[in-house]
Structure 1
Amino acid sequence: MKTVIKGLLVGVLLATTAISAIAQDKVVLTMWHNHPEWKDRVEAILNKYEEMNPNIDIQLEEISGTNYNTRLNTALTAGEAPDLFGLNPGPVTADAAAAGYTVDLTDRLDISGLTDSAKAAITLDGKIYSAPILGSYTVGLYYQRKIFEENGLTPPTNQTEFMALCDTLREKGITPMIAPAQDGIIPSFLYAMMVASVVKAEGFDEIRAGTRKFTDPDVLKAAYFLKDSYSCFQEGALATPYVEGKALFALGRGAMLEGGSADYAGFLETNPDVDVGVVPFPAVDGGTPATVTGMEAPYNVNAKSEHIDEAVAFLQWMMTAEPAQMVVDTITLTTTKGIVPSDNEVMKEMIEAGRSNDVRVFYEMPETGAVFGVVQQNAAALFLGDITPEEFAQIVQDAVKPSSSM
């Protein structure tokens, strides 16, 4: 009996030792992300990678968008940032690289499978510091199919139609547009699409070069359209947080919402039965309906990480077909070439919406990197009449840093 017990004890000891060795060999990668509404979808992708790589444990922490940048900046300064973190491409990523916070991935990552726009967005002076692993987003105009069908309405294509539609919906007791404007993000995207409807991609390059300005008479019309659109917003729009506004729309509390491809996943989290369509945002009269597109904060590797090789290997895998398909089917548009939505009709509509007049977001470019924030800070003053559209446009123009190389 003693021999049997001794043998069992030895077996338990050996098993415990083996489990301990496995635990010691497991590499833990910490990852910060700023879309809590995507948590289950992102974790499904991470779980797939962990199944294929049982020695890797990716610990995801979701941080709401309004708190993400503050926490990350504090953590980077203190040397306590996670192994993997997302940053907006362009000036923000460049600043982090210059400060030595991120790993130069130029010779570590193969980006040949990315779309041309994704490659352009993550390339800074010939170097690569990030990977657009959670895709890109296109922003357009969502609308409630039921509201439009029941009232015999069609999505507007220009400013005149949009404002008339707002009046019609108000008369029917329907809130025309949900616009959570507390942090200025929605107004910034609205203005970007209104400007894009006038200048298109080539005109945006002219703005970057300084040969065209936000104060030009035709572009100034976008500031007037933005001011007028405020009358279409829900009551209390300036006090409504972004996340709350998206939930209101998902629950059918308003007919329209400016939103991105990535927002659809959040709608479904709030209301699995949500039924929406999406079109380009209505043009400033005389312009072309437009969308704007940017990268979902590409991921960087912390220069102080103890697991740089493992973090890079994960980023490389994320740009391959299987995870890219999961991204486009469950979250947003992919940046991997050749991947299309399997059966997500809203994503297909968003792709179609961006075919004719799609312009990159202001903040991804060094010349216009500050424009988005300036609009955020001054949109409320425009809505409330504290500044005129002319003054607003001049403030925006003053934030441009034209490039002689454009």
Structure 2
Amino acid sequence: MGAVPRGAADRVRPRRGHRLPRRGRPGRARDAQPVGALRPAGVQGRGRRPVVEGEAGDERPVVGEDPAVAQALELYRTLWHEDLATPQSAADSEAQALTLFGGGSVGMYPSGSFSLEELGSTYPDLDFGVTPIPGPDGGSSSFAGGDDIAVTSDSEHPDVAWRFLEWAVEADTQQMMSEVGTVPVHADVTLGPYSDRGPEYAVLGEAMVNGRTIRSVQENALFNASTSPWVTMIAQGVFGESPDSVDDAVSEAQDAMANILSRG
């Protein structure tokens, strides 16, 4: 999600056949320079392969086999090396990203649904729009899920816990949660009352319904940890000085992920 200043898209010159999106619903951020604040983002979407394939316990990484991964890194690399991203991007842990965007210092900010309510309350005068993360040749990408709720095998009250789980995913409960800004997991609520709150919510609703989730028991080690192959690949590919930084970073990530998955 993010706002794009007028004329900003014309300043970005993607390499290797990349095209910036001309669709979506961009808004305006006054005096926003430079164009982007970079952060690790997914490259999955409808029609794309997952970055890990196979059933739990028999998984294999495919980041080195899907050209979409390298394409996404090349686009971010272009933004960085042509000074179209804020200098803080190389070292920021995302702590400043929302502040920079909300204050008008950057014009595009990839983020999640959780930012919408905070932007509205902290920066009520900010004029911005929300659009899906676009693919190079159409389509979009979104991550949905990753958090689980379950009943443990040693629970002293499994029946009570199960009734709570059933209540938590009912349409009425999901409707109540959507009213405080949480994207519902119940599709009828997501594409209905939640999306009806406004065009920004409709975009987020579609992203939830069409999003993908990494399915791996090693998901944290592969992607979320600060030293994970995924985070390391993005840092090396985007901010590296060598012309081969992207190819080298993707290859190293493929090998590192395979090593993690080989441990079970």
TM-score normalized with structure 1 length: 0.47
Which SS does the other structure have where 2:129 is aligned? strand
1:44 is matched with none
- What is the count of residue pairs matched by the alignment? 231
Report deviation, 1:235: 2.0
1:225 is matched with 75
1:130 is matched with none
TM-score normalized with structure 2 length: 0.67
1:204 is matched with 50
Distance 2:240 2:116 in 1: 33
Alpha-carbon RMSD across the aligned residues, in angstroms, is: 4.0
1:159 is matched with 18
Does 1:376 pair with 2:240?
no
Out of 324, 340, 351, the position equivalent to 2:205 is 351
1:267 counterpart letter in structure 2 = L
Superimposed CA distance per residue, residues 100-138 of structure 1 (whole angstroms, 9 cap, x where no aligned partner): xxxxxxxxxxxxxxxxxxxxxxxxxxxxxxxxxxxxxxx
Contact 2:80/2:238 (CA < 8 Å) preserved in 1? yes
Q: Which has the higher strand share?
A: 1
Report deviation, 1:393: 0.8
Distance 1:304 1:262 in 2: 33
Contact 1:250/1:267 (CA < 8 Å) preserved in 2? yes
Q: Counterparts in 2 of 1:379-394, with a 5 A limit?
A: 379-385=234-240, 388-394=245-251
Out of 96, 106, 120, the position equivalent to 1:244 is 96
Contact 1:208/1:400 (CA < 8 Å) preserved in 2? no
Does 1:331 pair with 2:177?
no
Contact 1:143/1:276 (CA < 8 Å) preserved in 2? yes
2:19 counterpart letter in structure 1 = T
2:127 is matched with 275
> Does the C-alpha gap of structure 1 residues 177 and 223 become closer, same or farther in structure 2, counting only changes over 3 Å?
closer
Distance 2:150 2:129 in 1: 34
1:390 counterpart letter in structure 2 = D
The structure whose Rg is larger is 1
Report deviation, 1:161: 2.9
2:252 is matched with 395
Structure 2: unaligned runs, 5 residues or longer: 22-27
Percent of paired sites with the same residue: 17
Distance 1:291 1:345 in 2: 18
Report deviation, 1:256: 0.6
2:63 is matched with 214
1:260 counterpart letter in structure 2 = G
Q: Counterparts in 2 of 1:249-328, with a 5 A limit?
A: 249-284=101-136, 287-295=137-145, 297-301=147-151, 310-328=160-178
Superimposed CA distance per residue, residues 26-65 of structure 1 (whole angstroms, 9 cap, x where no aligned partner): xxxxxxxxxxxxxxxxxxxxxxxxxxxxxxxxxxxxxxxx
2:250 counterpart letter in structure 1 = A
Contact 2:237/2:247 (CA < 8 Å) preserved in 1? no
> Does the C-alpha gap of structure 1 residues 213 and 299 become closer, same or farther in structure 2, counting only changes over 3 Å?
closer
Distance 1:160 1:202 in 2: 18
Distance 2:9 2:234 in 1: 29
Contact 1:247/1:267 (CA < 8 Å) preserved in 2? no
Distance 2:9 2:138 in 1: 20
Superimposed CA distance per residue, residues 196-242 of structure 1 (whole angstroms, 9 cap, x where no aligned partner): 36xx445338x615999433483433332332233432121233232
Does 1:361 pair with 2:210?
no
Superimposed CA distance per residue, residues 228-277 of structure 1 (whole angstroms, 9 cap, x where no aligned partner): 23343212123323243123323333111111223212222422344322
Contact 1:176/1:233 (CA < 8 Å) preserved in 2? yes
Out of 221, 232, 235, the position equivalent to 2:87 is 235
Distance 1:382 1:281 in 2: 19
Distance 2:187 2:207 in 1: 19
Structure 1: unaligned runs, 5 residues or longer: 1-140, 163-168, 180-185
> Does the C-alpha gap of structure 1 residues 252 and 327 become closer, same or farther in structure 2, counting only changes over 3 Å?
farther
1:261 counterpart letter in structure 2 = S
Contact 1:329/1:344 (CA < 8 Å) preserved in 2? no
